Copies of this chain bind each other. A is one copy, B any other.
Amino acid sequence: MRIAITGAAGFLGQKLVARLCESGRLPTASTAETGADPAIAELALFDLCEPPEPEGAPFRVRTQAGDIADPAALTALLADGADVVYHLAAVVSSAAEADFDLGLRVNLDGTRALLEVCRRLPGPAPQFIFASSVAVYGGDLPEAVRDDTALAPQSSYGTQKAVCELLVNDYSRRGFIDGRVLRLPTIVVRPGRPNQAASSFASSIIREPLQGETAALPVPEDTALFVLSPRRVLDALCHAAAVPAEAFGACRSVMLSGVSVTVAEMIRALARVGGEEAVARIEQRPDPRIAAIVGGWPARFDTRKAARLGFTGDADMDAIVQAFVEDDMVPQAGH
Contact = CB atoms under 8 A, between A and B. Distances in A.
A174 B249 contact: no
Contact of A251 (B148, B149, B152): B152
A293 to B, nearest CB: 14
A142 to B, nearest CB: 8
Interface of A: 100, 138-140, 147-154, 156, 159, 162-163, 166-167, 169-170, 173-174, 249-251
Contacts of A149: 148, 150
A151 B251 CA distance: 10
Nearest to A136: B166
13 contacts: A139-B249, A140-B250, A148-B149, A148-B152, A150-B151, A151-B166, A152-B169, A153-B169, A154-B173, A154-B250, A156-B170, A159-B169, A163-B163
A162 B140 CA distance: 19
Contacts of A251: 139, 150, 152
Given A139-B250, A251-B139, A163 B156 contact: no
Contacts of A153: 166, 169-170
A140 B151 contact: no
Contacts of A100: 174
Nearest to A140: B250
Nearest to A161: B166
Nearest to A139: B250
A159 B166 contact: yes
Contacts of A139: 249-251
A188 to B, nearest CB: 26
A173 B100 CA distance: 12
A156 B140 contact: no
A319 to B, nearest CB: 30
Contacts of A166: 151, 153, 159, 162-163, 166
Top-4 shortest CB links A-B: A139-B250, A159-B170, A148-B150, A152-B251
